Amino acid sequence: MRAFEAAARLLSFRRAAVELAVTPTAISHQVRRLEELLGVRLFERHTRRVSLTPTGRELYPHLRDGFDAMARALADLTHRDALRPLTLSATPAFVAQRLVPNLAALRAAHPAIELRLHASEETVRLGGGGVDAAVRYGRGGYTGLRAELLLRDRFAPVCSPVLGVRRPQDLAANTLLHFAWHRPAKDAPTWPLWFRHAGLRGAPAAPGVTFSDESHAIQAAIAGQGVALLSLTLVADELARGVLVQPFGPTLPGYGYYFVHAADAGSHPDLAALRTWLRDTVLAPPPQRSRAATARRGPPRAR
């Protein structure tokens, strides 16, 4: 039918072949096959030209209009999907530490995706033209939504290498950096819980500092303001670069990072690309520094 439409519009098998990037013989075979299927003649073949039969003239406008309608529908669909922004919600710390540094990789792999980042500690409603998906941090069990576990988190003491912290006993001479959990829980990784797991009695003598935002605790640790108990996922790049070090354990289990979206949006191609980016780029382990680089940056981590 496509071969017939082009030949009928151009009244030439040769020009139809050029348009469809095939040979004139292929156009002729396709048209003859259609004539055999329909049981009617569509073209009159002359020595150097072709012309439509009355049946061909009757069929042509219907096929023309049909192909035009399909082309408009596909163009509208492609244009709408390409321009529709995709909104992803996550905590401010996750947006700052993991999403923003990896945006270039998403743009390189999927330049047609217009991503909007929504940073909030509040749980937002997904779907319905607002926020399309979220990276949620918790235990799972998100009723009415599709959730895929991306990574389970761990927490450990981290600090700037300039502090020279090597042993748990060194904590007594350094400021402990805290941040307030948005939804406190008994098993939330905190300094008191870490001290119990480490088998250390009492609290360190140095006073601590508490931040309302986890990102501020991370920046304070990078600036050498003290030792923070932080998500190893959020500071993975800083650890890999040697800006921060994890001088000792133990580590505490955190919660899971889940990719969550409305149950009826799972077939959206942009969501699939976003999930792949989160799993394979945003949460992929960063390359480790060489030992020589580690030695240049400061004291090595205790083993």
46-56 confidence digits (pLDDT tens):
988 899 999 99
CA neighbours closer than 13 Å in the CB half-sphere of residue 106: 24
> Cβ distance 227 to 158 under 8 Å?
yes
**Of residues 299 and 5, more confidently modeled:** 5
Asked whether residue 144 is domain-assigned, the answer is yes
Does the predicted model carry a pTM greater than 0.75?
Answer: no
**Of residues 297 and 77, more confidently modeled:** 77
Kindly state whether residues 72 and 120 are assigned to the same domain: no
Question: Mean pLDDT throughout 63-76?
Answer: 79
Whichever domain contains 11, its CATH number is: 1.10.10.10
Asked whether residue 303 is domain-assigned, the answer is no
Query: Is residue 206 pLDDT above 70, yes or no?
Result: no
Kindly state whether residues 73 and 197 are assigned to the same domain: no
Weakest mean pLDDT among 1-10, 36-45, 125-134, 230-239: 125-134
pLDDT of residue 227: 96
Kindly state whether residues 162 and 290 are assigned to the same domain: yes
Of 20, 55, 83, the position where a domain reaches its end is 83
pLDDT of residue 225: 94
Of 29, 52, 83, the position where a domain reaches its end is 83
Kindly state whether residues 92 and 195 are assigned to the same domain: yes
Q: Take residue 220 and report the two structure tokens written for it.
A: 């304070």
Whichever domain contains 117, its CATH number is: 3.40.190.290
Q: What percent of the chain has pLDDT over 70?
A: 87
Of 83, 101, 134, the position where a domain reaches its end is 83
Kindly state whether residues 105 and 72 are assigned to the same domain: no
Kindly state whether residues 162 and 270 are assigned to the same domain: yes
Query: Is residue 212 pLDDT above 50, yes or no?
Result: yes
Weakest mean pLDDT among 30-39, 66-75, 175-184: 66-75
Kindly state whether residues 109 and 203 are assigned to the same domain: yes
pLDDT of residue 284: 87
Kindly state whether residues 44 and 117 are assigned to the same domain: no
pLDDT of residue 165: 94
Kindly state whether residues 94 and 233 are assigned to the same domain: yes
Query: Is residue 176 pLDDT above 50, yes or no?
Result: yes
Asked whether residue 302 is domain-assigned, the answer is no
- CA-closest candidate to residue 53, choices 31, 68, 33: 31
pLDDT of residue 299: 41
Kindly state whether residues 179 and 153 are assigned to the same domain: yes
Q: How many CB atoms lie within 10 A of CB 299?
A: 15
Domain count, the chain: 2
Kindly state whether residues 61 and 161 are assigned to the same domain: no
Q: Take residue 183 and report the two structure tokens written for it.
A: 């939804």
Query: Is residue 291 pLDDT above 60, yes or no?
Result: no
Helix axes 2-10, 24-38, angle to 10 degrees: 110
pLDDT of residue 76: 63
- CA-closest candidate to residue 1, choices 37, 25, 49: 37
Sheet of 145-158, strand order: 115-119, 86-90, 133-138, 252-262, 145-158, 227-231, 176-179, 209-211
Kindly state whether residues 103 and 9 are assigned to the same domain: no
pLDDT of residue 31: 93
Query: Is residue 301 pLDDT above 70, yes or no?
Result: no
**Which residues on adjacent β-strands are paired with residue 110?**
none
Query: Is residue 178 pLDDT above 90, yes or no?
Result: yes
Range of the domain at 26: 2-83
pLDDT of residue 69: 83
pLDDT of residue 244: 97
109-161 confidence digits (pLDDT tens):
888 888 999 998 888 888 765 788 999 999 888 888 889 999 999 999 999 99
